[in-house]
Structure 1
């Protein structure tokens, strides 16, 4: 054998240590034991005299049967003695109901007695929306599922406490077997057996210093609808805080402060005590509005547009309304309103607060440009420059122009917002234009004054109206059968246009619910200077639209328009004042103003009655993060020579559009086809614009 470094040649071998007799007869040799002469007494070193173990005691261990055990004395009983609870076998057990399978991986089971957990449906919907098992993909990974199950169990406990179940039990099972049916599952699943236990009720309710509101206390306390004995709902405890805060703000308490509510649960009583510190801060009436930029927007002007008078009870909604109204002027970039105490409350009498308006100016000059295209109307380019406060306060001056295939215009507009009152607008507009249509061309100068109350993109109003005066001087010429321009006729027209609209829709540019109804009435006097004739007639128009959401992604919309001009023959009305149909805001698929009675050349001449109908489905898609909609539509319209429609020729168009829902409204692209085109109608029409068609 090889030697390792450090071993000596005198080391005995294993074969030398085994006696020959042990090899010849191992069993006999082993039975003889170890010979006494082989024991080397000198092998153990002698101990020193002063060593701790110099005198070794003799230790003997008796066999077990020689050991005598002393009697064990019994323990003295406790005082009072421990009592063990015995369970009554007649106590009913909770019987679990059928499975509520949310997915292949998730099953919830509740007691079969629905009265033990009456919020089951709401609870399931809420849990399903928050469950991590439902959120993440199904990959048949039981380790992943077990980790998610622990998270979902914690979620279930939190949700049960939200509904007042503080002694609930949840049994979590993760595996391949549905315990309710013993049926093998295709994938691993999680089962939660939920025993809700008793539902706790409200004990005491402490609302801090709310009683300091005196005579207002009962009404204010009633707005916080959490009372002793009610079933606990953490949602209600929190949400009712906002109701009380709103009630304080609407009852004259601008400085009211409410801390977040807390709930102290007492398991011995099955109750929870609610504490929500409230400091009303005193009751006040409105004073005036104080502007920090009086030369820009004066205090007097801001007080005029506020919806309160001095001495009215403070209401937070009125304060917020004033803020929105100031922003709607377009003159300020930001505004902060702060109540400032002028008079402290006295015994039984409210104090007075002014509202300080800290204003930051916005850019006042704006340049805008827009371009549109229609296959029948051609290209239309619009541009404008405006200064929104050239004549303070809120005096706007705008210069605008249009360059188009069929229309050119230059105009100037003066507008005074909040004129003599809130939301009232005075507009003076003058323009000169030329129009070149297939039927006629016109050279027009017009001056219009309008006093109105209408909706804006920032402020949609339920009721809008306008009244005005319109003066028009126009030279217009129709075309003969060969398309030649006939002699121009000069018309002088004076009109009193009146307008009213009820708007119950939920959005100005993209409504999904509600309706709109509007009416226009314009008594007019028209003098044909060349023929020395004078006519009186009334132009009337009624529009109605309705919007209905039928599913999360589908809105159905319909529109109708009825118009009539009684009082004169159609030839006594200037061509530009007659009724026409066709185009992007009318009957799509046909050219602008191309529907109506035709002359010998097949060109519409306009009429005295009009009927239009439109219907479309606005369908949201999942493309572009849900910002893209597809809109199939169908339109129909007719124009008659008499003041009542005859429906001799009804033009129908259909098509499909797309909408891109931008932050400022839907961008519209419609492609339409005339289903029964006239002799001069194309086979397709395309429209591009901002906002829905109606």
Structure 2
């Protein structure tokens, strides 16, 4: 490549002005670490040539200017000043073809480019003039060399014809094989390389989703018409063979039994191959708490049956974990939580977890006579000690053993209860999304509330069904969740002889855009107690509304039927609904306007005897790698006398 220069007297003027501009000042310009705090001003360095790079001529196309910065050696090495003028010129000369390629990629096929260094322009095919290197050396340690990438972009070329053909036949695909909506690239769009790459990715994704694991997209040489400023392009696609899923191996396990990992893989040999199937494998295996990372590797060729073998490579997490959290609500009060867990107790990914919770009820109201007491009182302290054990994949099957035990003191504004409970259950996983569970439960407790004292014992048979197709547990962006449970109880002492408790909750999430920055979330819950009288049902088993996980803006469990003195006594049925619009402002900050509706009723079915209560507010979300941090401000609508004017909730994860 020949680069020709013409020496211009004004170059010496530029150098003189730059040198004079620092006379009487310190030896360095004020700078801010190359843009870290806003300005991108280089520092004058002794024995080196500091320079400032700018792009001119693309004010109306910021994307094209950014693409130039992406490929420019001058821009990339601007924080590493060259030692002399010769090195600076070599950087500029190497940038010329790079900038031209970047402009072609942005759709400017007739662009002219020059780089002005210290007042002298260089361009492709013209040698640099003698004396410029010496001129540039005069800047060393004294001033910043001005470097401008000057672009005359010319017309923006557009695609005239975009054709997608089958590489095997040379003809376009049938619409049933390749619908027109698959590829977003259309005629008359700017002829940018990024658009072609996006179209190739869309084609590859489409055919892989239709069980073609070895699809190849070939971009043929485009035809450029400089008279009409248009580009014709042909994308040839070789779909390759249709394949199913072959044998699935498990590697990477050290202390965890591989049979446990296999039980969480729901794909079978011969199932259709698709990227979604691989994603489902990664997600389901990741649910094993002892597993930290999951990678699904595809074989490079099909097996004898025309299927694609897979290898599930896992990495194990440290077996022991210790954690703590703090939660605060202006109405529910402060809470502390600490836990310890072992994720692989006996080598079969068994999880043993111990929890300790402590909370304090802020309200000073005492339901007995409605009196108030000021200051701290030990009666408002509540807490829980709990232990849970999970043995997944019993005998390598999809059955899991779950054991839970807890001691709980619950303190609310209208009742106090002390309960010891234990449950043993078996869960069967049909798929990663669908499972059923059944077991036996025992409780011994005492509750005190406006309806009296209840000393009781319970034996129940909890049954539940769960379906969860959401993509993320703490911050879902699509799918829905449904959980339905029913527990028949046999009671002793003050409890009813027989009664049943049922509950169903469903939530759905809908993303309005591909990037999941705008999400609509809806939750509906219904619960009912059949059998027994309201006074016989232990207070903690009745239904109440209000609080951070129910109707925000109201105190915890403050909504429901009341006695003659206005004390909330709880109900035998419950209805709740929540609506949220989750809006991401940036990648880490979001806002969530929301409305909650709910109420508990004295009868076994919501009968309208109590007015539905509404809470509304605005939430702030800070998105982290483990989930969003939630800050919600809520107010009760049509607030009644004695109710707080607002409530604030802080926690990890979305409200539902």
TM-score under structure 1 normalisation? Answer: 0.58
Q: Distance in 2 between matches of 1:250 and 1:430?
A: 45
CA displacement at 1:534 relative to structure 2 = 0.9
Given candidates 516, 531, 551, the residue that maps to 1:587 is 551
Structure 1 partner of 2:36? none
Deviations 1:175-215 (A, max 9, x none): xxxxxxxxxxxxxxx99995979946769x795xx79xxxx
The answer to whether the 8 Å contact 1:590/1:685 transfers is yes
Structure 2 partner of 1:364? 319
Structure 1 partner of 2:608? 646
Helix, strand or coil for the counterpart of 2:535? helix
Structure 1 partner of 2:246? 286
CA displacement at 1:582 relative to structure 2 = 1.0
Matched, 1:495 2:461: yes
Structure 2 partner of 1:687? 649
Structure 1 partner of 2:442? 472
Distance 1:615 1:350, change over 3 A: closer
Structure 2 partner of 1:15? none
Q: Distance in 1 between matches of 2:242 and 2:530?
A: 63
Distance 1:424 1:315, change over 3 A: farther
Structure 2 partner of 1:435? 410
Deviations 1:224-250 (A, max 9, x none): 999xxx989877865565567568867
Q: Distance in 2 between matches of 1:294 and 1:468?
A: 32
Deviations 1:355-390 (A, max 9, x none): 455544321211121111223332221111111111
CA displacement at 1:606 relative to structure 2 = 0.7
CA displacement at 1:578 relative to structure 2 = 0.8
Q: Distance in 2 between matches of 1:159 and 1:655?
A: 45
Structure 1 partner of 2:535? 571
CA displacement at 1:687 relative to structure 2 = 1.6
Given candidates 484, 500, 524, the residue that maps to 1:537 is 500
Structure 1 partner of 2:488? 524
Q: Distance in 1 between matches of 2:306 and 2:412?
A: 67
Structure 2 partner of 1:635? 596
Q: Distance in 2 between matches of 1:563 and 1:195?
A: 63
Deviations 1:152-175 (A, max 9, x none): 9998865558xxxx8x999xxxxx
Q: Distance in 2 between matches of 1:567 and 1:576?
A: 16
Structure 1 partner of 2:257? 297
Deviations 1:259-283 (A, max 9, x none): 8644164979x99796979797998
Structure 1 partner of 2:576? 612
Distance 1:552 1:357, change over 3 A: closer
Structure 2 partner of 1:662? 624
Q: Distance in 2 between matches of 1:280 and 1:619?
A: 41
Given candidates 201, 206, 221, the residue that maps to 1:263 is 221
**Count, aligned residues:** 500
The answer to whether the 8 Å contact 2:243/2:308 transfers is no
Distance 1:676 1:320, change over 3 A: closer
Distance 1:690 1:267, change over 3 A: closer
Helix, strand or coil for the counterpart of 2:527? strand
CA displacement at 1:604 relative to structure 2 = 0.9
Q: Distance in 2 between matches of 1:195 and 1:683?
A: 59
Structure 2 partner of 1:101? none
- Where in structure 2 are the equivalents of 1:224-235 lying within 5 Å? none
TM-score under structure 2 normalisation? Answer: 0.61
The answer to whether the 8 Å contact 2:67/2:102 transfers is no
Matched, 1:411 2:386: yes
Q: Distance in 2 between matches of 1:472 and 1:640?
A: 26
Q: Distance in 1 between matches of 2:626 and 2:62?
A: 31
CA displacement at 1:494 relative to structure 2 = 1.0
CA displacement at 1:131 relative to structure 2 = 5.0
Distance 1:252 1:612, change over 3 A: closer
Distance 1:520 1:680, change over 3 A: farther
CA displacement at 1:394 relative to structure 2 = 2.0
Distance 1:293 1:511, change over 3 A: closer
Distance 1:275 1:391, change over 3 A: same
Helix, strand or coil for the counterpart of 2:540? helix
**Stretch deviating more after TM superposition (438-447 or 583-592):** 438-447
Structure 2 partner of 1:382? 337
Distance 1:545 1:608, change over 3 A: farther
- Where in structure 2 are the equivalents of 1:504-515 lying within 5 Å? 508-511=473-476
CA displacement at 1:401 relative to structure 2 = 1.6
Q: Distance in 2 between matches of 1:384 and 1:558?
A: 31
Deviations 1:414-446 (A, max 9, x none): 113455778764422112222233333222222
CA displacement at 1:511 relative to structure 2 = 4.6
The answer to whether the 8 Å contact 2:335/2:357 transfers is yes
Distance 1:328 1:260, change over 3 A: farther
Distance 1:597 1:454, change over 3 A: farther
Given candidates 395, 399, 404, the residue that maps to 2:354 is 399
CA displacement at 1:507 relative to structure 2 = 5.0
Deviations 1:599-649 (A, max 9, x none): 34432111112233444554555xxx5633344444343222112332434
Q: Distance in 1 between matches of 2:309 and 2:102?
A: 49
Q: Distance in 2 between matches of 1:304 and 1:201?
A: 47
Structure 2 partner of 1:373? 328
Q: Distance in 1 between matches of 2:160 and 2:331?
A: 70
Pairwise CA RMSD of aligned residues? 5.3
CA displacement at 1:665 relative to structure 2 = 2.2
Q: Distance in 1 between matches of 2:553 and 2:653?
A: 18
- Where in structure 2 are the equivalents of 1:128-143 lying within 5 Å? 130-132=63-65
The answer for unaligned runs of 5 or more in structure 1 is: 1-126, 137-150, 171-189, 212-217
The answer to whether the 8 Å contact 2:518/2:584 transfers is yes
Distance 1:529 1:448, change over 3 A: same
Helix, strand or coil for the counterpart of 1:431? strand
Helix, strand or coil for the counterpart of 2:324? strand
CA displacement at 1:333 relative to structure 2 = 4.3
Q: Distance in 2 between matches of 1:523 and 1:295?
A: 37
